[in-house]
């Protein structure tokens, strides 16, 4: 049995989701992969939980569910996450902090610190990767460490893994897809339920599919960050967030959606990567097209030179669904340790 030490950088929705799935799947991972995953540090914005024998994740989760702070636990230390990275011996940093879409921080700085310390990194941070993709990838290469970020674009869908592990000889010529579940839910409700955008958005918020401030989703910013990551990682581009032509769905009316429907189309917020560049915007999609998926699902179509069209459909977000991709990255790294 191989024991692998993890630092969990962030204990928000994704961080707590990681802890829950680790508790649930620990025995399964040991049995299937011969790996014992041990979290030796959890970084929060105001301090860290540190224990070389393994942080008590259940106690931390119980506290947070009661709305209490982690500083009540004996393993709590008043140090910054960067100090924890520097001081605590570990193998992999699981970086799941919520970063700023405009700067990529604090996630990008934490990934940089972890790589410089000699840790491998599994990150779910689209903001960090969209802003400093090339720089961080070059650093990982220089340090000879893994930097994997499957969950940063497409949540639970294995997109980068698919391109890296499965489509070996194919060249991906273009990609198009739905990378934001919130807008897909809204547009589905406008098409099938005849709702206007504001009503569909309110319903999405009530169901927890949309944030209280849905700006990043509705304006296409979230999808644009993911588009940069996929273009760079899968198609070997060197694009930045500012290279994406972005148009959100704010201007899409109920009447336009119904006109599209009458003529055999649906309107979807589509991310495109092709020889013309990177874009995110509302598009007409034929009703019988594979990207006409409903509710809050995501879907991506790769167009390759050998296998031609490959379509992946799945859950693009969610505290639990995203863990499928994070654990995939962590276990992939463990194989090389």
**Binding-site string for other proteins from residue 21 to residue 40, where x marks contact by CB under 8 A and - marks none:** --------------------
For position 78 contacting other proteins by CB under 8 A, the verdict is no
Applying CB under 8 A, the span of 11-19, 34-42, 128-136, 259-267 interacting with other proteins comes to 259-267
For position 220 contacting other proteins by CB under 8 A, the verdict is no
Cβ contacts of residue 94 below 8 Å, gap of 6+?
A: 6, 7, 8, 9, 18, 121, 122, 123, 326, 330
**Binding-site string for other proteins from residue 117 to residue 146, where x marks contact by CB under 8 A and - marks none:** ------------------------------
For position 311 contacting other proteins by CB under 8 A, the verdict is no
30 is catalytic: no
Contacts of other proteins in 238-257 (CB under 8 A): 247, 251-253, 255-256
Residue with tokens 């296409």: 220
**Rounded to the nearest whole angstrom, what is the least distance from the CB of residue 105 to other proteins in the complex?**
33
Query: What strands, in cross-sheet order, belong to the sheet with 120-123?
Result: 76-77, 47-50, 35-44, 2-9, 92-95, 120-123, 147-148
Applying CB under 8 A, the span of 65-73, 112-120, 179-187, 262-270 interacting with other proteins comes to 262-270
Contacts of other proteins in 145-184 (CB under 8 A): 174, 176
For position 286 contacting other proteins by CB under 8 A, the verdict is yes
Given the residues 82, 145, 226, 268, select the one marked as catalytic. Answer: 226
Total number of residues that touch other proteins (CB under 8 A): 27
Nearest to 69 by CA among 42, 95, 90: 42
For position 73 contacting other proteins by CB under 8 A, the verdict is no
For position 225 contacting other proteins by CB under 8 A, the verdict is no
**Rounded to the nearest whole angstrom, what is the least distance from the CB of residue 231 to other proteins in the complex?**
15
**Rounded to the nearest whole angstrom, what is the least distance from the CB of residue 296 to other proteins in the complex?**
20
Torsion of CA 9, 138, 133, 313, to 10 degrees: -80
**Rounded to the nearest whole angstrom, what is the least distance from the CB of residue 233 to other proteins in the complex?**
21
Residue with tokens 């650093």: 139
For position 195 contacting other proteins by CB under 8 A, the verdict is no
Cβ contacts of residue 328 below 8 Å, gap of 6+?
A: 150, 158, 161
Candidates 163, 172, 291, 317; binder of other proteins (CB under 8 A) is 291
Cα–Cα distance between 337 and 333 in angstroms, integer? 7
For position 284 contacting other proteins by CB under 8 A, the verdict is yes
For position 327 contacting other proteins by CB under 8 A, the verdict is no
Applying CB under 8 A, the span of 49-57, 59-67, 156-164, 282-290 interacting with other proteins comes to 282-290
Chain residues that interact with other proteins, rule: CB under 8 A: 174, 176, 247, 251-253, 255-256, 258-260, 262-263, 265, 267-268, 270, 272, 274, 281-286, 289, 291
Residues classed as catalytic: 226
């Amino acid at each position: 049995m191989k024991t692998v030490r993890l630092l969990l950088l962030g204990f928000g929705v994704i961080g707590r989701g990681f802890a829950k799935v680790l508790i649930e799947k620990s025995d399964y991972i040991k049995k299937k992969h011969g790996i014992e995953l041990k979290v030796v540090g959890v970084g929060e914005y105001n301090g860290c939980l540190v224990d070389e024998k393994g942080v008590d994740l259940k106690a931390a989760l119980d506290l947070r569910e009661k709305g209490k702070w982690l500083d009540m636990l004996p393993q709590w230390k008043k140090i910054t996450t960067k100090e924890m990275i520097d001081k605590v011996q570990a193998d992999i940093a699981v970086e799941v902090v919520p970063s700023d879409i405009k700067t990529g921080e604090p996630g990008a700085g934490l990934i940089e610190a972890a790589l410089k310390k000699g840790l491998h990194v599994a990150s779910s941070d689209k903001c960090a990767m969209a802003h400093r993709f090339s720089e961080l990838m070059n650093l990982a290469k220089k340090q000879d460490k893994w930097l994997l970020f499957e969950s940063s674009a497409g949540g639970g869908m294995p997109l980068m893994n698919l391109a890296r592990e499965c489509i070996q000889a194919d060249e991906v010529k273009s990609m198009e897809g739905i990378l934001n579940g919130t807008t897909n839910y809204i547009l589905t409700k406008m098409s099938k339920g005849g709702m206007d955008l504001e009503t569909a958005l309110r319903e999405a918020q009530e169901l927890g599919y949309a944030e209280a401030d849905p700006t990043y989703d509705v304006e296409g910013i979230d999808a644009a960050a993911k588009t940069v990551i996929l273009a760079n990682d899968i198609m070997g581009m060197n694009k930045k967030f500012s290279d994406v032509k972005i148009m959100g769905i704010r201007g899409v009316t109920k009447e336009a959606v119904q006109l599209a429907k009458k003529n055999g189309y649906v309107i979807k917020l589509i991310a495109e990567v092709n020889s013309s560049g990177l874009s995110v915007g509302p598009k007409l999609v034929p009703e019988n097209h594979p990207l006409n998926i409903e509710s809050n699902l995501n879907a991506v179509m790769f167009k390759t030179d050998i296998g031609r069209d490959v379509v992946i459909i799945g859950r693009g977000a969610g505290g639990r669904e995203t863990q499928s991709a994070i654990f995939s990255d962590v276990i992939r790294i463990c194989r090389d340790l």
